[in-house]
Amino acid sequence: MRIVLVLLFLAALSPTAAFSKTDCVNTEGEAVIVDKDIPSAKAEAIARAKWIAIEQVVGVDVKAQTIVQNFMMVDEAISREIKGAVSSFKVLGRKVTEETITVSINACVESTKAKDTVAGLAQNTAISVFILTKDPSHPGGGYQETNLLADSIIGSLADQGYTVIDVAPTNAIDGRVVENAMKSGRFLELRSLMHRFLTNIVLVGKVDYTVSTKKGEDVGYGLSMPFNNVTARLNYRILSRNTSGTITVLDAGTEQAKGVAGNVEDAASLGLQQVAEKITPTILEKVAKHLKGVTRKVQVKVVGISDLRNNFEIKEDLQNIAWVTEVEDRGVGEFTVSYPENPIYLANSLTQKGKFRIEQFTPYAITMKYKEP
């Protein structure tokens, strides 16, 4: 009895350890050999392989490799989380060519910690959108994969420069899960969308239809209704994940509009179009306000600048990076950059320009060496 009580006490103290599942998978990572530095390339290849193992266990659709090219930088940025998620790994083999090295490993990954690790690379400027609709003429049927309202909102968000994922066609989550979350106000299960698509913002909604009058319906005095009158009503939530991993509601509300047409489907589409026109400015405003609130100041130091002309060019390069809102010149080679994303994306954007080599990276400071053309 005493042993049972002790075990229960330990489980209560460490629920993650008690219930986290560990999966062991074989993966491989590749890295470019720079200046014949094979040990550094091997370390980067292992970092890539570990991250691929984490992605496999979590089941992500958007791969980190598509948005962050320098995986040593990833390893440095969230090394503690990666080490916690990958409980152990063993190198199975390696293949070296003149330009690259490929390392294969077997990595054991704790699923709960892996999800938290993936969340560390989720983008504030990326949005998952899932709006549930049913066929208005057959409301008892299944959910439609696409609809005019979702397409309109996604298009408007994309026009503003956001990366937008239309979740419905991916079958990443069952529509009933979203519907139950909307009804209960419990959105924990929707965290999987953030993990899978590396987004920190999720827009979920549900559209209901009310057919107030049908075509041919008797309206009295020997007259019949010439059109269908359908009201489309959207109930939506904009969710985000804060730094502690808690889901917060950025905005919640409803919007409705009526459509009149010769058949129910056309009337519903007209109603949805009006709902989109009403709700889109509100969504854009709430998302922009959220980004403003999460914008941080990143100190960028550039060594190797020869004159003020170079300093001006570097400042211009920083200002032209997507989502940089302000660049403050603090002296030759020193800048304060306002940026709403994880600074790893800022550093990655700089390396892609070909003028800079990252010397040191932290979540609040980046040191680069300027390679004068």
pLDDT by residue for the chain (373 residues), tens digit each?
444 444 444 444 444 444 568 999 999 999 989 888 999 899 889 988 999 999 999 988 888 877 887 777 777 777 777 878 999 999 999 999 989 999 999 999 998 888 888 888 889 999 999 998 887 767 666 777 778 899 999 999 999 999 999 998 888 888 888 888 888 888 888 888 888 899 999 999 999 888 876 665 555 555 455 677 889 999 999 999 877 778 899 999 999 999 888 888 888 889 999 999 999 999 999 999 999 999 999 999 999 887 888 899 999 999 999 999 999 999 899 999 999 998 999 998 988 888 888 888 888 899 999 876 6
Contact indicator for 342, 361 with CB cutoff of 8 Å: no
- Report d(CA 346, CA 298) in Å as an integer: 9
- Report d(CA 286, CA 113) in Å as an integer: 30
pTM above 0.85, yes or no: no
Name the residue among 174, 162, 176, 168 with its Cα closest to residue 148: 168
Name the residue among 82, 81, 23, 84 with its Cα closest to residue 47: 82
What pLDDT is recorded for position 56? 92
Which neighbouring-strand residues pair with 229? 213, 260
What pLDDT is recorded for position 67? 80
Domains, the chain, with CATH or none: 18-119 (3.30.1660.40), 123-293 (3.40.50), 296-370 (3.30.70)
What pLDDT is recorded for position 326? 95
